[in-house]
């Protein structure tokens, strides 16, 4: 299956490391931004990170991991131990590593990658943290960046939201939700009268050979929906002040994917979609009006870094942390919801040759498949993933 996410991303350039001799040469960092200096611990918006997966045969090699971390800290920006981050699990092993370096650093001032370290690395990607770097995507914006106002398919046809407030194409207001709440509170527990805003709720409870008309505007549910279940929502977080999630049974400790340092700066971009998508998904799980499992315990898994950006690192790190959490709680039935995904390097328009892009995509997808297969072996866990917003239903992982 080909996973996609039509929301946040980061810019990057694919970069191979050469291993023909005893050392792998680190490529030169561009000199196009000589006026940009790293200011770790300040509001500086620029950072540069190397990210690599680890080959399968080295994932549980403790000596290799120690050597890799020691070398990584030798080239990392200060404070060195905070700018090296590993994706690892007690069960799955050492899976990936990211190293944030000073953007003024040159290959002449850092050690080359020892062969003993490089031979265990999969394929590299160099990640630039913001729009200051002249990346290709700025001239060919990806689809998620081309935001357009919402509109009905037929502007002359009402959207079917009863008691709507505002113009066609706008989201229902708080008054609409309050009206529906009053309707729900006056109906029996086993069935709830709803209108078109809950059409999907009626659909999921629709018995075989029964039409929507036969349902007579009612949504049928179990008496204890989601009782005893734990639902991990891997997304952008959750706005706990939103009234739709006010009554959800949240686990107090959230799971954060990826390193929070040094990417802790505030930018104009990182509030654009931060928590909103995640809040909507959490609401679909156990929300007051739109949830299907009101009694479930929800664990929020925030797969964005402190800039509000989703990266391949934060995605995989989130899955690994959820896996470890489920392993430690084998008595609970768990559902992992991932209403997101990732694009290939070519689809993002990243720099680098086709061979480089394909090599990194294959290395990363191989790691993803390894993690997903580990979930499949768990007797108490199910993963739910989105089918994509536009892609065909059937697609390959690579």
Q: pLDDT in tens for each of the 398 residues of the chain?
A: 333 333 322 223 223 332 333 444 443 333 343 444 444 444 445 667 788 899 999 999 999 999 999 999 988 888 888 889 999 999 999 999 988 887 666 554 444 778 888 889 887 776 665 433 333 333 344 443 344 444 444 444 443 333 333 344 444 556 666 666 666 556 554 555 555 556 677 777 777 777 777 777 676 666 678 889 999 999 988 988 899 999 999 998 899 887 656 555 554 444 445 678 899 999 999 998 888 888 999 999 998 876 667 778 889 999 999 999 999 989 999 999 999 888 766 555 455 566 677 888 888 899 999 999 999 999 999 999 887 766 655 555 44
Residue 316 within a domain: yes
Residue 17 within a domain: yes
Residue 397 within a domain: no
Which residue(s) pair with 230 in the sheet? Answer: 297, 334
CB crowding 347-380: b at 16 or more within 10 Å, else e: ebbbbbeeebbbbbbbbbbebbeebbebbeeeee
Same structural domain for residues 130 and 164? Answer: no
Using a 10 angstrom Cβ sphere, with 0-12 exposed, 13-18 middle and 19 or more buried, the burial of residue 276 is middle
Same structural domain for residues 306 and 325? Answer: yes
**Which pLDDT does position 100 carry in this prediction?**
83
- Residue 241 DSSP code: T
Same structural domain for residues 180 and 215? Answer: yes
| Domain end among 221, 244, 260 | 221
> Are 107 and 28 within 8 A, CB to CB?
yes
Q: Which residue has the tokens 């009626």?
A: 202
CA distances from 101 to 43, 110, 255 (A): 17, 10, 26
Residue 106 within a domain: yes
Same structural domain for residues 213 and 228? Answer: no
**Which pLDDT does position 296 carry in this prediction?**
94
Same structural domain for residues 187 and 259? Answer: no
| pTM, to two decimals | 0.69
Residue 167 within a domain: yes
**Which pLDDT does position 264 carry in this prediction?**
53
| Domain end among 202, 221, 240 | 221
Counted domains in the chain: 3
Question: Strand 23-24 vs strand 84-89: parallel, antiparallel, or unpaired?
Answer: unpaired
Residue 390 within a domain: no
Using a 10 angstrom Cβ sphere, with 0-12 exposed, 13-18 middle and 19 or more buried, the burial of residue 156 is exposed
Half-sphere exposure for 266 (CA within 13 Å, toward CB): 1
Same structural domain for residues 196 and 253? Answer: no
Report how many helices (DSSP H) and strands (DSSP E) the chain contains, helices first.
Answer: 9, 15
Residue 159 within a domain: yes
Q: Which among 274, 285, 272 has a CA at the least distance from the CA of 337?
A: 285
Q: What domain range is 188 assigned to?
A: 151-221
Distance between CA atoms of 235 and 232, rounded to whole angstroms?
Answer: 9
CA 89 to chain centre: 18
Same structural domain for residues 122 and 213? Answer: no
Distance between CA atoms of 298 and 156, rounded to whole angstroms?
Answer: 40
Same structural domain for residues 97 and 187? Answer: no
> Are 93 and 371 within 8 A, CB to CB?
no
Residue 61 within a domain: yes
Same structural domain for residues 24 and 140? Answer: yes
Q: Which residue has the tokens 């297969």?
A: 373
| Domain end among 205, 221, 237 | 221
CA distances from 67 to 72, 108, 114, 117 (A): 9, 21, 9, 7
Same structural domain for residues 324 and 376? Answer: yes
């Amino acid at each position: 299956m080909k996973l996609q996410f039509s929301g946040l991303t980061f810019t990057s350039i694919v970069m191979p490391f050469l291993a023909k001799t005893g050392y792998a040469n680190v490529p030169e960092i561009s000199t196009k931004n000589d006026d940009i200096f790293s200011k770790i611990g300040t509001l500086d918006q620029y950072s540069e990170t190397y990210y690599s997966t680890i080959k399968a045969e080295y994932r549980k090699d403790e000596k290799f991991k120690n050597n890799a971390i020691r070398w990584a800290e030798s080239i990392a920006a200060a404070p060195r131990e905070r700018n090296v981050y590993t994706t690892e699990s007690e069960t799955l092993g050492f899976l990936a590593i990211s190293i944030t370096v000073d953007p003024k650093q040159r290959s002449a001032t850092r050690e080359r990658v020892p062969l003993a370290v490089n031979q265990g690395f999969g394929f590299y990607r160099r990640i630039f943290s913001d729009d200051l770097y002249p990346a290709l995507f700025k001239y060919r914006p990806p689809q998620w960046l081309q935001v357009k106002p919402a509109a009905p398919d037929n502007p002359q046809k009402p959207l079917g939201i009863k008691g709507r407030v505002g113009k066609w194409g706008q989201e229902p207001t708080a008054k609409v939700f309050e009206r529906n709440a009053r309707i729900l509170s006056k109906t029996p527990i086993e069935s709830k009268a709803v209108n078109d805003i809950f059409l999907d709720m009626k659909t999921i409870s629709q018995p075989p050979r029964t039409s929507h008309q036969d349902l007579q505007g009612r949504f049928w549910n179990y008496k204890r929906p989601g009782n005893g279940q734990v639902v991990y929502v891997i997304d952008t977080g959750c706005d706990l002040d939103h009234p739709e999630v006010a009554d959800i049974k949240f686990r107090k400790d959230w799971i954060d994917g990826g390193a929070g340092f040094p990417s802790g700066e505030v930018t104009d971009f990182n509030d654009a979609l931060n928590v909103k998508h995640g809040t909507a998904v959490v609401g679909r799980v156990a929300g007051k009006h739109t949830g299907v499992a009101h009694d479930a315990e929800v664990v929020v898994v925030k797969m964005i870094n402190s800039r509000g950006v989703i990266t391949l690192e934060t995605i995989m790190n989130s899955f690994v942390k959820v896996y470890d959490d489920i392993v430690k709680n084998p008595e609970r039935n768990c559902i992992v919801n991932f209403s997101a995904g990732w694009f290939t390097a070519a689809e993002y328009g990243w720099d680098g040759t086709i061979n480089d892009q394909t090599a990194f995509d294959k290395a990363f997808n191989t790691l993803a498949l390894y993690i997903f297969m580990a979930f499949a072996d768990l007797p108490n866990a199910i993963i739910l993933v989105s089918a994509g917003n536009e892609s065909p239903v059937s697609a390959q992982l690579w």
